[in-house]
Amino acid sequence: MKKFSYLWKNALVLVLALVFAIPAALDFKAMQKREPIAENEALTETRMLSEYCEGLKGTPADTEIYILDSGVPGGTFLIFGGTHPNETAGMLAAVSLVENMKPTAGRFFIIPWLNKSGFTHTSPLDGMQDFFDIKLDDGSVRTFRVGNRLTNPIHQWPDRTYYEGTSGRKLVGTETAEIRNVNRMYYGNPDGVLTEKVCWGIYQLILKEGVNLTMDMHEGSPEFLYLDCTMVNEKADNPTAMSIAQGMSLDMEFDDLTMRAEFSGMKSYGLSHRSLGDNTPSMMTLMETYNPSMGPLHGKMDDDLIVGGNEPNYVEAYERGLNYFKVDDSGYPLIDRVARHITCISYLAKNYTDAHPDRAMSFEGLGSYADMVAKGLGGLLKPVGQK
Amino acid sequence: MKKIFVLLLAALLLLISACGRQENTPATGQKETNAGTEAYDPSKTVEFEMKTSETNRIVTVGTVDKSLYSAPILITSFGQSTDAATLDTAMKRAGANYDYKPQATADEIGSYKTLVIAVGASTKGLGQAGISEKDETARAEAIMAKAKETGAQVVCVHIGGETRRGVLSDALADLVLPQCSLIILKEDANWDGKFTNYADQNQLPIILIFGQKDTVQVMTDVFGK
């Protein structure tokens, strides 16, 4: 009887453990499944980043590169989102470009999920949720992951107490976790940690494909100083870079949009605009928009906040003079940020072409900022058979 | 009892480790300040009445004599902010003939009849250019001395707005103002009346603009073909 009781208790513990473990495991596994992407006739080729860094082959960090080649000789534009997976607009802007773009000059290399490993986990202690839904115009629903800004520790562990990447950035103290941050580890290392291999892949892609212009799409919380801002590396060998970026900024202003251009910080070691700009011939840019779901003051985390983009706590913080970035009741919906990223990219391509007509790059298929906002995400994204 | 104690201990350890919150480092490393000042603080701005507005974007006070500004024209920067690049773009769109040398030296300006100077200091811009505040001030002083010698017309352009005001920015503006024959100003920078008062006292024409995009129209009007 005593033995039976012992077994019964152990079985109960096991069942209880499974009650928690199975849903957690299913949830965890679900985050490892990449979102489908809709077909686009203009898509020329899909490659993996491991073609530029062999060490990524077969790892959870290997990611798709979508190539859209106009067939018209010109420049090459590399665009990536998902460097920080929780900065949602960059990933969705890249997905929208892949699904809608009709290139008319030059080639476009687009990576929606750059830190693919980062998309496989989330930040529960920041109150982040793992998925969000977008209802399309045909009634179907597309689900996307939110992810975490860092590589999943299951894929890269442990964080070292001291690390110095190829940029010379010293990761120590509170920065040790940044060894899993793609945007701290450029220009990467083929023999380094997994995150560095992603960086090396991008570095090699730029060199091997002769990329002329690169855009790394980001978002930030309103405590951050550089929102609606594009960082530009103005290298000695590319003195027109800031003028090209200011051309974009003026074009945005003519559309009643703010997108100022700012010099890349000289000490931004390991960041894409600094390290790739210094070590490749490409004009390097990094764009930031305001994401209301980021930052410590965000309230209830749900689809309304992620997609709707209205966070009253930040409105109040601005009214109290605590934020530089103006936040008001009208919110900052995801479609606005996605459209802003795409419009900035379009104007950068236009101004780059004006400055370098022999490296022309242009595309159609997405319309203006106003067109995209009018369509909404439900009209911009294509159905992929999800219900 | 022992098991319960172990479980409680494990839960306590889990709680302690979970409380170690990941630092939310911004994507781009550093915070810029206007060179020579503390960071711009919007709570310290002063209310003042603007002449320009969304609907009345360009206001000219005084008469601009366009015939003064003949080629060859040079655009340079005092303070290495992004504003010089904006001028470069605006002049290009205006169809003007000009050279763009944001770090031009006094030795290089001798042949220019018109100097268009973008005034406004940026720590990031100075850092990018590898120039110290002291060296930038020395370069500006040398250029103004050379301009006095050659008799070149000087246009003072301040289009960075209120965030482009600070100790170094103002010092650089003070070098240019005494020799300029025209001021072009994004009006929100004039919160203390610095530029309009100077123009008024010295009977200088001043073109006030509401936004940076208005630079294109002004450059077309003044320098366009």
Query: Over the stretch A130-157, which tens digit does the pLDDT of each residue have?
Result: 999 999 999 999 999 999 999 999 999 9
Give the mean model confidence (pLDDT) for residues A250-269: 94
CB contact under 8 A, A265 and B21: no
Residue A77: both structure tokens together = 């534009």
Arithmetic mean of pLDDT over chain B? 87
Q: Please give the pLDDT value at position B65.
A: 96
Q: Please give the pLDDT value at position B205.
A: 98
Give the mean model confidence (pLDDT) for residues A41-60: 98
- CA angle A382–A128–A24, rounded 5-degree value: 90
Domain positions in chain B are 52-223
Q: Which residue from A200, A196, A179, A120 is spatially nearest to A152, judged by alpha carbons? A: A120
- Calpha distance B27→A17 (Å, rounded): 39
Is the pLDDT confidence value at A306 over 80?
yes
* CATH match of B52-223 with 3.40.50: yes
| Shortest CA gap A253–chain B (Å) | 6
Tell me if A183 sits within 8 A of A271, measured CB to CB: yes
What is the residue whose two structure tokens read 């600070």? B166
- Calpha distance A85→B52 (Å, rounded): 42
Q: Please give the pLDDT value at position A387.
A: 52
CB atoms within 10 A of CB B103: 15
Lowest mean pLDDT among A231-235, A361-365, B29-33, B124-128: B29-33
Cα distances from B72 to residues A285, B100, B109, B129, B152, in angstroms, run 33, 11, 10, 25, 10
B191 — phi, psi (to 5°)? -60, -25
What is the distance, to the nearest Å, from the Cα of residue A127 to the centroid of all Cα atoms in its chain? 20
Helices (H) and strands (E) in chain A, counts: 10, 14
Q: Please give the pLDDT value at position B12.
A: 67
- CA angle A56–A144–A26, rounded 5-degree value: 75
Is the pLDDT confidence value at B20 over 70?
no
| Shortest CA gap B14–chain A (Å) | 13
Give the mean model confidence (pLDDT) for residues A270-291: 96
DSSP summary character for residue A215? E
Domains of chain A: 31-380 (3.40.630)
Q: Which residue among B26, B124, B216 sits closest to A250, beta carbon to beta carbon?
A: B216
253-312 in A: which are within 8 Å (CB) of B? 253-254, 260-269, 271, 273, 286, 288, 294-296
- Calpha distance B36→B171 (Å, rounded): 10
- Encode pLDDT of B57-91 as tens digits: 999 999 999 999 999 999 999 999 999 999 999 99
- Encode pLDDT of A307-339 as tens digits: 999 999 999 999 998 888 889 888 899 999 999
Which pTM was predicted?
Answer: 0.89
Cis ω for the linkage preceding A85 (within 30 of 0):
no
Residues of B in contact with A220 (CB under 8 A): 26-27
Q: Please give the pLDDT value at position B43.
A: 52
Share of chain A above pLDDT 90, in %: 85
Give the number of C-alpha atoms closer than 13 A to the C-alpha of residue A223, restricted to the C-beta side: 11
Arithmetic mean of pLDDT over chain A? 94
Size of interface A-B (CB pairs under 8 A): 112
Consecutive H or E run containing A7:
helix A2-30
Q: Please give the pLDDT value at position B45.
A: 53
- Calpha distance A120→B223 (Å, rounded): 56
CB contact under 8 A, B24 and A126: yes
- CA angle A230–A233–A239, rounded 5-degree value: 115
Helices (H) and strands (E) in chain B, counts: 7, 7
| Shortest CA gap A112–chain B (Å) | 17
Give the mean model confidence (pLDDT) for residues A294-298: 90
Q: Please give the pLDDT value at position B27.
A: 34
Give the mean model confidence (pLDDT) for residues B94-109: 96
More confident of the two residues A153 and A3: A153
- Give the pLDDT band (50/70/90) at residue A225: confident
B79-B81-B87-B89 Cα dihedral, nearest 10 degrees: 140
Cα distances from A1 to residues A7, A8, A9, A11, in angstroms, run 10, 10, 12, 15
Give the mean model confidence (pLDDT) for residues B18-35: 39
Is the pLDDT confidence value at B40 over 50?
no
Residue A161: both structure tokens together = 């107490």
Q: Please give the pLDDT value at position A385.
A: 74
SS3 of chain A: helix, strand, coil, percent, to 5: 40, 15, 45
A64-A68-A73-A76 Cα dihedral, nearest 10 degrees: -40
Q: Which residue from A143, A329, A165, A346 is spatially nearest to A254, judged by alpha carbons? A: A346
